[in-house]
Amino acid sequence: MMDLSVIIPCFNSGTYLTEAIASIETYEGRYKIEVIIIDDGSTEHRTLGLLNQYRKKLTVLEQANKGPGAARNAGCKIAKGKYLLFLDSDNKLSNNYIHKTLDYLYDNLDIDVLYTNVIFFDSNESRFKPDVFDIEKILDKNYIDTCAVVKKDFFEKIGGFDENKVLIGREDWELWIRCYSNGARFHFLNEPLYYYRIRKRSLSTYNSIEQRDFQSYSYIVNKNIYLFRKCYKETLQKSLEYSYDKNRPLRSLIKYLWYKLI
């Protein structure tokens, strides 16, 4: 049996894919790993050419464009590893990511989800700050990236990623909430063991992301309304005087749904 299946969704990301793959290939150790790339309907010639080359040594699946959640689920279906690592095609691992995470997991077999600290690159911006798991903090704002190691049996038991396209870019957040609801044990390994690429965005992209974020927030809250209500009851009652804050739309949305559904 494989120890780890690294699952990489890819959509027209040939510019970065080689770095992601190279960061995995540097691993030399006792653990058995496999790499599964899922081509999520790429059309770019450079990406298609690279995928053809990788077919000679890695597993490459093809599917119509369904989004990264569906691509990761497709990879899981053929994965042979005891654990799954979801790596985005524009990010990369440190040299010791695999052996440090697997060493810890095999010494602590009760852990279902393990995530690490992060190094941001290609920009001085920091998108999030990983921390010890706290459900109230996670409900307010996700700080666990998709790049985490998950026990395959547990991942399959809860149904994998939600493939609704409204969640694109936020499917990891929904997954962590659902993991918690199903009794997952999380562990934060506070070492910077992977690299998260910060890609530049235009003003129009920011506006589009803000609109999409509100839609995904609404979907996640509605799907987990009882958990949100349970965890936020006291907070919501104390914060009614605050008006809508465009930088934290989730808080306003939760308050709205709370009073709509109680």
Domain boundaries, the chain: 2-200, 204-261
Tell me how far apart the alpha carbons of residues 173 and 161 are, in angstroms, rounded to a whole number: 10
Tell me how far apart the alpha carbons of residues 76 and 40 are, in angstroms, rounded to a whole number: 14
3-state secondary structure 220-242: HHHHCHHHHHHHHHHHHHHCCCC
> DSSP for 179-195?
HHHTTPPEEEEEEEEEE
Joined together, the tokens standing for residue 18 give 């080689």
Give φ, ψ of 143 to 5 degrees: -130, 15
The upper half-sphere exposure of residue 38, i.e. CA atoms within 13 Å in the direction of its Cβ, equals: 26
- Among left, alpha and beta (phi > 0; psi -120 to 50; other), residue 117 is beta
Mean pLDDT per block of 10 residues along the chain (262 residues) reads 97 95 95 98 96 96 96 98 98 97 99 98 82 93 96 98 94 97 98 90 46 84 88 58 51 57 52
CATH class of 2-200: alpha beta
Residue 50, pLDDT score:
96
Joined together, the tokens standing for residue 3 give 């120890």
Residue 213, pLDDT score:
78
User: 14, 21 in Cβ contact below 8 A?
Assistant: no
Cα–Cα separations (whole angstroms), residue 18 to 21, 47, 54, 61, 181: 5, 10, 10, 17, 36
Residue 199, pLDDT score:
74
Residue 205, pLDDT score:
38
